Amino acid sequence: MSSDVVRHELDDGRIVVSRHITNTEWLGREPHLIEIEAAALRLLVDSAVQAPELIATGPGRLLMSFTPGEMVVASSALVGRAPRLAAAAREIHRVELPAGHGLPPWRSWASPQLVQPDWGDHGLWSEAIEMFRASPMPTTERPVLLHRDLHPLNILWEGDDAIIVDWVNACVGHPHAELGHCRWNLSVLAGPSCAEAFVTAYLDGTDHGEYDRYWDLAPAMSFLPGPLGGDGWHAVGRNDLTPSIVVERTEAFVRQALR
């Protein structure tokens, strides 16, 4: 949706992949996307996280190693992978952050002036906006590496191995910020039970404290005023996710957070 990602077979037999960011509006707002992805990939070299290896960068472009695997977006398959996805998130958050790592702090993608949408349950969105504005962002004494856009479309699976791609939004911050974004995606793609299984499996293996539902409201607020659609998921075969279904599942996710 934002880049041309191309596989190249070189004369010496190597296979590499290039990313060229084609969304110039996004690149204008976020001019350091390639530098951020490069910095993240350098951090991952000696870690347990499976990801592409950085080869070279240029203006708006990055060259990396080819990674095997396939995208999994079917609801039934995602439910079974929730624990392994949680383990992948923990592996990301355990990566050592040296001084001068070059990554920005996490920030909300919500507009500073939140606007109630003209679609959906107006009362629900009004309550959610009020709650989000009144809730302080949870803090942590141990900021961690965040992929920031962890969800099934940024994961390649080879057997039980989860290979994480698309690191242009990498940052550092509270580990649970990662969970909320992924949970919303899982809720839409595979239902609330999959999202709950993911966060439960993650928390069982860490000591980062209880999960604050602020992190569920944060991704929902970033979509406003919308509209919500499913173009990205349609591109990978999830044509069942019509705009009305995405809205319905998102509002169910928000109701759960408010409760």
Question: Would the pLDDT of 139 be above 80?
Answer: yes
| Reduced 3-state DSSP string for 13-77 | CCEEEEEEECCHHHHHHCCCHHHHHHHHHHHCCCCCCECCCEEEEECCEEEEECCCCECCCCHHH
CATH of 75-258, one of 3.10.180.10, 3.90.1200.10, 3.40.50.620, 3.40.50.12780: 3.90.1200.10
Region of 240 please: left (phi>0), alpha (psi -120 to 50) or beta.
alpha
* Closest of 215, 172, 169, 168 to residue 195, by C-alpha: 215
User: At residue 73, does pLDDT exceed 90?
Assistant: yes
Task: Give pLDDT, residue 207.
Answer: 73
Residue 129's identity, in one-letter code, is: I
What tens digit of pLDDT does each residue of 205-226 get? 777 678 999 999 999 999 999 8
pLDDT higher than 80, residue 57: yes
Domain residues of the chain, as ranges? Answer: 3-65, 75-258
The per-residue DSSP string of 207-241 comes to: -S-PPPTHHHHHHHHHTTT-----HHHHTTT-TT-
Of the candidates 191, 154, 178, 15, which has an alpha carbon nearest to the alpha carbon of residue 95?
A: 178
For residue 108, the surrounding DSSP H or E stretch is none
The 10s digit of each residue's pLDDT in 93-131 is 999 999 999 999 999 999 989 989 999 999 999 999 999
Instruction: Tell me the residue type at 64.
Output: M
- Tens of pLDDT, residue by residue over 144-179, are 999 999 999 999 999 999 999 999 999 999 999 999
How far is C-alpha 95 from the geometric centre of its chain's CA atoms? 17
* Mean pLDDT estimate for the chain: 94
DSSP letter (8 states) at residue 162: E
| Residue 113 to residue 118: CA distance in whole angstroms | 15
So what's the pLDDT on residue 231? 82
Q: What is the pTM of this model?
A: 0.94
Three-point CA angle 110, 154, 113, nearest 5°: 5
> Does the structure show a pLDDT above 80 at 56?
yes
Matching CATH number, 3-65, of 3.30.200, 3.40.1350, 3.30.450, 3.40.50? 3.30.200
pLDDT at 29 over 80: yes
